[in-house]
Structure 1
Amino acid sequence: MKRQMIYRTVASAAIFVVVGFVFLQAADACTRVLWNDSGLNVVVGRTMDWPESTQPEIVVFPRGMKRDGGLLGTETAVKVNPAKWTSKYASMVVPVYGIGTADGFNEAGLAIHMLYLKSTDFGPRDPSKPGVQTGLWGQYALDNTATVAQALALLKKIQPVMVEMHGHKATVHLALEDATGDSAILEYINGKLVIHHGRQYRVMTNDPSYDQQLALLQKMKKEVDFAHPSSNTPLPGNVSATDRFQRASYFSALLPKPKNEREEVASILSIMRNVSVPFGAPYQSFGIYNTEYRTVIDLNIKRYYFELTTAPNVIWADLMKFDLNPGASVMVLNPDNTGLSGNVTDRFHRAEKAPF
């Protein structure tokens, strides 16, 4: 059964015809978990939760890509002072609807993840700052910076510009991490940029805002003994953003030290599957969309793992095996193919038209 048919069956009451980069205001979606103290590599996982196909492809961009941060497909989303740049770093990303980057990393080992946050407010447009339409917020960091610290310094100089289509706004917050294990969460609350910067910020879901999520987690830790887990430990078990945040934090703290990369990736995937939203959680009852795909990034060896929830196969690709020099072809792979399995680096093909 094709992916679109499955999503219509599971969430028929919640399907919207979406054109462009849109995050519907009534939905919580997605989870990100960073593992930066395994003793091996720095790895990060995320889930993408949505009611229909976001048309995910795995795309490799070489260095030297020219970007216009004001473009949204064929439209101009930033009328005044749009940011324009040429990428310094190559990247491997998963676009959303072909016009923005939902998830990905670059050759320096910096990764980004955009997740839904209903309370996002970028504030009124400040024309003194270059503007970047929301879908390219994370890609701007990937193209131009190598570390979390560099990305934070750069992102303070630009302004994300809200994208609105069909009455729905792209309200998102941004997670960053790099190959050293550094981490940051960026949110715009009441028009102000709020940054949580530090290795300790490993888990991110959705609403409420991150400071409130952290407060809820501290309250949970007073009631749940992380140091002495047992099968009787009471854990939030539903699919809300707060439940997923607390459950991901709990099980992440229990992960055993891996012996090799295979165990490390399997461990983080086990967490991402634990906090995924199953097809049996219909939107009309839960107010949350089912998980469309899961990813894991190894930031040290630059490997991207991808798991489509409507397919029984896990695939991966190595960014550093591609030609990343300026002028090289943009390479693309459609993961919606049950014939794919394991290392698919050599299954990419030249893109007829590069996304955004």
Structure 2
Amino acid sequence: MTYFPANKLVFAIAALTSLSVALAAEACTYVRLTGADGSQHPGRSMEWGTFDIKPGFSVIPRGHEHSAMTMPDGADGAEWSGKYGYAGVSLLEREGLFGDVINEAGLVMNLLYFPGFAEYQPYDPAQAENSISATDYMTYMASQFATVQEVIEATRDVRVVPVVEPSLGFAAPVHVVVSDPSGDEIVVEYINGELHIFEETIGVMTNSPPYDWHLTNLRNYLNLRPVNWPDIEVEGLTVGGIGYGTGLLGLPGDYTPPSRFIRATAYKETARETQGAYDTTLEHFRILGHFQLPLETDFSDLPDGLDPISYGSTQYTVSFDTSNMQVYYFTDDEARVRKFDLKKIDWDTLSEPMTKPLRRGGPPQVEEVVFDN
């Protein structure tokens, strides 16, 4: 056995803590639940500990004129007019930059960080008019298509190229989960300059490595089960588990993407049966609550225009009810659940984009409970 001097042990613990914070700062977890009525509820927690992404909720009308980000050589990228209105969580107070969107047909797209593996298609100046950035992909698909199958066909036709994201200083390394009210779902990734569309999915996603690696890794956890393991006899002695939960012994508890993928899968597969609507949303938030990551630190070297986060790395958590067109969420500064009712939007008359901050601002609203005399 190796023994560490006290000062070296402290240093080792500090190094491990710094590593876990770095991993947690770029962590996102996606889970999609299905209600007993067949309703689909995709949603995610957004962990971003590097800077405040200033989440807002934006509504974009039909017919809105879109332009892709400027191409690597300064040329204009694709331009298009929106066929569908859509809404979602916008980022950095910038039009066209979304973390999550839902359009009026119920198509939902969720953007997750994919560092170390995302590599987009090579930029070809001759195809600039058919090229978009990785973040443009969200608005292009949400504004043009109603179903996952339509998105699959369109994704094969458009080129996603490495356009620098100003807030990062490099092309945003991301992958996208796309789902619709029918229960269809795909994961879209660009690896080694090639498009990969995964059509066999399980309603769970985290970050790197690629999606098929996560599915292979699931095979290491076939022993997990929602009930306790039975007692065994050892030399005439009955040996039972110590407390409840022996069926989940071996469930990884760290914050790395592979471990969160396994944990999210286990929670999803052992979730209670829900009826749909807000009943499923409650279960959704119960599961996503396991991935709320606290992070208090000072980032003093941020680029101009970016602010450190105030509370933690889980800046928002969102759940979409695609059947009832409701978007439920809570933020890092206030755990109270709020919602946007998209049925109240008149898509026929809406003519200009609208945005509200996702955070309420000011002190959290706390309901005091009193005893009646």
**TM value normalised by structure 2:** 0.76
Do the aligned residues in 2 keep the contact of 1:101 with 1:138 (CA within 8 Å)?
Answer: yes
Deviation at 1:255, TM superposition (A): 1.1
Match of 2:370 in 1: none
CA distance in 2 between partners of 1:36 and 1:261 (Å):
10
CA distance in 1 between partners of 2:103 and 2:73 (Å):
25
Do the aligned residues in 1 keep the contact of 2:26 with 2:48 (CA within 8 Å)?
Answer: no
Q: In the TM superposition, what whole-angstrom CA distance separates every residue of 1:227-246 from its partner, at most 9, and x where no partner exists? A: 66851222111111111100
Match of 1:68 in 2: 67
CA distance in 2 between partners of 1:208 and 1:134 (Å):
18
Q: Given the alignment of the two structures, is residue 261 of structure 1 paired with residue 256 of structure 2, yes or no?
A: no
Q: Given the alignment of the two structures, is residue 48 of structure 1 paired with residue 49 of structure 2, yes or no?
A: no
CA distance in 2 between partners of 1:228 and 1:109 (Å):
39
The 5-angstrom pairing of residues 173-212 of structure 1 reads 173-198=175-200, 200-212=201-213
**TM value normalised by structure 1:** 0.79
2:320 partner SS: strand
CA distance in 1 between partners of 2:73 and 2:320 (Å):
31
Count of aligned positions: 309
Match of 2:146 in 1: 146
Match of 1:217 in 2: 218
Deviation at 1:91, TM superposition (A): 0.8
| Letter aligned with residue 35 of structure 1 | L
Decide which of 78, 96, 101 is 2:98's aligned counterpart.
101
Do the aligned residues in 1 keep the contact of 2:63 with 2:82 (CA within 8 Å)?
Answer: yes
Deviation at 1:272, TM superposition (A): 0.9
Deviation at 1:338, TM superposition (A): 5.5
Match of 1:346 in 2: none
| Letter aligned with residue 341 of structure 2 | D
Match of 1:245 in 2: 261
Do the aligned residues in 2 keep the contact of 1:49 with 1:291 (CA within 8 Å)?
Answer: yes
CA distance in 1 between partners of 2:34 and 2:184 (Å):
8
| Letter aligned with residue 206 of structure 2 | T
Deviation at 1:134, TM superposition (A): 2.0
Match of 2:134 in 1: 134
Q: Given the alignment of the two structures, is residue 231 of structure 1 paired with residue 232 of structure 2, yes or no?
A: no
Q: Given the alignment of the two structures, is residue 115 of structure 1 paired with residue 112 of structure 2, yes or no?
A: yes
Do the aligned residues in 2 keep the contact of 1:78 with 1:133 (CA within 8 Å)?
Answer: no
Question: Closer, same or farther in 2 for the Cα pair 1:254/1:282, shift >3 Å?
Answer: farther
Match of 1:296 in 2: 319
Deviation at 1:254, TM superposition (A): 0.9
Do the aligned residues in 2 keep the contact of 1:95 with 1:102 (CA within 8 Å)?
Answer: yes
Do the aligned residues in 2 keep the contact of 1:70 with 1:131 (CA within 8 Å)?
Answer: no
Q: In the TM superposition, what whole-angstrom CA distance separates every residue of 1:68-120 from its partner, at most 9, and x where no partner exists? A: 1134xxxx657446211111111111112214111110000100011111110
Deviation at 1:49, TM superposition (A): 1.0
CA distance in 2 between partners of 1:258 and 1:25 (Å):
33
1:238 partner SS: coil
Decide which of 86, 111, 121 is 2:81's aligned counterpart.
86
Question: Closer, same or farther in 2 for the Cα pair 1:226/1:272, shift >3 Å?
Answer: same
| Letter aligned with residue 137 of structure 2 | W
Do the aligned residues in 1 keep the contact of 2:121 with 2:160 (CA within 8 Å)?
Answer: no
Question: Closer, same or farther in 2 for the Cα pair 1:207/1:161, shift >3 Å?
Answer: same
CA distance in 2 between partners of 1:121 and 1:269 (Å):
32
Do the aligned residues in 2 keep the contact of 1:104 with 1:113 (CA within 8 Å)?
Answer: yes
Question: Closer, same or farther in 2 for the Cα pair 1:37/1:337, shift >3 Å?
Answer: closer
Deviation at 1:37, TM superposition (A): 5.5
Do the aligned residues in 2 keep the contact of 1:61 with 1:324 (CA within 8 Å)?
Answer: no
Match of 2:290 in 1: 274
Q: In the TM superposition, what whole-angstrom CA distance separates every residue of 1:159-180 from its partner, at most 9, and x where no partner exists? A: 1222324643300001100011
Deviation at 1:278, TM superposition (A): 2.5
Question: Closer, same or farther in 2 for the Cα pair 1:56/1:167, shift >3 Å?
Answer: closer
CA distance in 1 between partners of 2:228 and 2:320 (Å):
30
2:335 partner SS: coil
Do the aligned residues in 2 keep the contact of 1:68 with 1:83 (CA within 8 Å)?
Answer: yes
Deviation at 1:264, TM superposition (A): 0.7
Please, which runs of 5 or more residues in structure 2 have no aligned partner? 1-17, 230-243, 300-311, 366-373
Q: Max radius of gyration: which structure?
A: 2
| Letter aligned with residue 147 of structure 1 | T
Alignment root-mean-square deviation, CA: 2.8
Do the aligned residues in 2 keep the contact of 1:68 with 1:84 (CA within 8 Å)?
Answer: yes
1:89 partner SS: coil
CA distance in 2 between partners of 1:83 and 1:61 (Å):
18
